[in-house]
Amino acid sequence: MKKTPLNRIHRELGARMVDFGGWEMPVQYTGVIDEHLATRSAAGLFDVSHMGEIEVRGAGALDYIQQLTVNDASRLVDGQVQYSAICYPHGGVVDDVTLYRFAADRFLFCVNAANTDKDFAWMQQVLDEGDFADVELRNLSDDYAQLALQGPKAEAILSRLTRCELPSIKYYHFAEGQVAGVPAIISRTGYTGEDGFELYFASEAAESIWEALMAAGEADGMKPCGLGARDTLRLEMKYALYGHEISAEISPLEAGLGWITKLDKPSFIGREALLRQKGEGIPRRLVGLVMTDPGIPRQDYPVYDGDEQVGVVTSGTMSPSLKVGIALALVRPECSSVGKELQIGIRSRKVGCRVAKTPFIKNRRS
């Protein structure tokens, strides 16, 4: 398995390590619920150095990205971040990504860890088969480490280690500065629904920055957090996870990502298939479910309307914030209205649930 630059520290902290997409990663330290609630109330520090970074440079960079992604990258200005997706011609998702604009001829994609090699190969294929002037792709994943500092006290903690004017960095914007004396990209983004930052910097600086952040956040109750809490936090916000809510078989329209899918763009890969899907009627929709009977929903559990199966759970957990079972599920459109009573098949029984308004909790980021 691949290891991040912080593997030694995770082991010294007693983290339980697991295989995640070919990476040895911490799933928890003190416990998923403890880490989840610390992030919601104070701050959590996550090692996300397994994520991939792919740079696009050249005069034709924007034209290339416009063809590659579903969102409209022409709306970006320098220092802005965009959530987007890359699709196959049939409308399924290659990956969901965040896109950073540094200049008109320089962009950086952050991609999902398990997809990095696949994404880079697809991006290179699109480049090779297209007519794009002076575009260069570089997989810089080995050069970067990445930490996510999330929670209502994240700004106060980070401010002790940087001279960067953090209040001036708006949501989904970034700045280049220093953290603990190390050059870094400081991005006001995250995967938790809380305010916070994602920090990119040279891999060899990972241990020193981790230790500086942990020391800076100790008095505020910040805790190291693993993949378990990262998953429950994103699920409470209805944030998609590749391989669950989106995949090569699930379109962005089915996954509720129509808001990033700009079908009015003249051309992008997958546009025709997505237009056709929208015109014919989206066959299934992603909804949030809250259990009305005791039970914890899990991925691949069937969803019923009476005796008929109408969908499947894509992600599920016991919500640490709400103390009730919650799930995301793909269901038939006629079963997607908020308040609709459904059932989830848990082992040999059908357990009651209800389509809920999402996100399950209020988004508390600034």
Closest CA to 344 of 273, 292, 277, 282: 292
Alpha-carbon distance of 82 to 100, in angstroms, equals 7
Residue 225 Cα distances to 14, 95, 160, 220, angstroms: 12, 24, 20, 15
For β-strands 144-150 and 196-202, DSSP reports them as: antiparallel
The three-class DSSP label of residue 352 is strand
Decide: residue 37, CB within 10 A, 0-12 exposed, 13-18 middle, 19+ buried: middle
Beta-ladder partners of 174: 187
341 marked as binding residue:
no
Alpha-carbon distance of 28 to 323, in angstroms, equals 19
Return the half-sphere exposure (C-beta side, CA atoms, 13 A cut-off) of residue 334. 5
Alpha-carbon distance of 10 to 226, in angstroms, equals 9
Token couple for 263: 């079908």
The dihedral built from the CA positions of residue 194, 107, 92 and 120, taken in this order, carries a sign that is: negative
Write down the H helix ranges in the chain.
Answer: 7-12, 32-41, 61-68, 116-129, 154-159, 206-217, 227-236, 271-280
Alpha-carbon distance of 345 to 351, in angstroms, equals 6
Return the half-sphere exposure (C-beta side, CA atoms, 13 A cut-off) of residue 71. 17
Which amino acids are annotated as binding site, given as ranges? 198
- Known binding-site positions for substrate: 198
